[in-house]
Amino acid sequence: MALQQEVLALYRRIFRLARKWTSLSGRAEDTREEQKYIKTEAKTLFKKNKKITDENRIREHIREAEARIEIGFIFSSQWPLRKLAELTRIE
């Protein structure tokens, strides 16, 4: 149950991040597009992985998401994360 709460908290954190996200260019259009990307990516991955019951795999996915969040903050843009996601995505 604690793990489920951790996953839900992570989901909420990602959507709060998306709402507050500002693109590196500062253009409203770019910001909206990047916010949409963050939300779509989160929805897709959480939905894809919702049936996973193995705690170790769940923890791996949590670590992956947290790493992507940190990298997003470091680079101030999630666009490079598309390639990173392809390389690091846990199946």
Amino acid code (one letter) for 90: I
Q: Give the whole-number percent of the chain exceeding pLDDT 70.
A: 79
- Closest alpha carbon to 31 in 40, 41, 42, 20: 20
* pLDDT tens figures, 49-83: 999 999 999 999 999 999 888 877 766 654 555 55
pLDDT at 36 over 60: yes
**Burial of 3 by CB count in 10 Å (0-12 exposed, 13-18 middle, 19+ buried)?**
exposed
Domain ranges, residue 84: 2-88
Amino acid code (one letter) for 35: Q
Given this model, what pLDDT does residue 12 score? 95
Q: Are 14 and 65 a contacting pair, CB within 8 Å? A: yes
Number of separate domains in the chain: 1
CA angle 58, 21, 12 (to 5 degrees): 35
Q: What is the pTM of this model?
A: 0.77
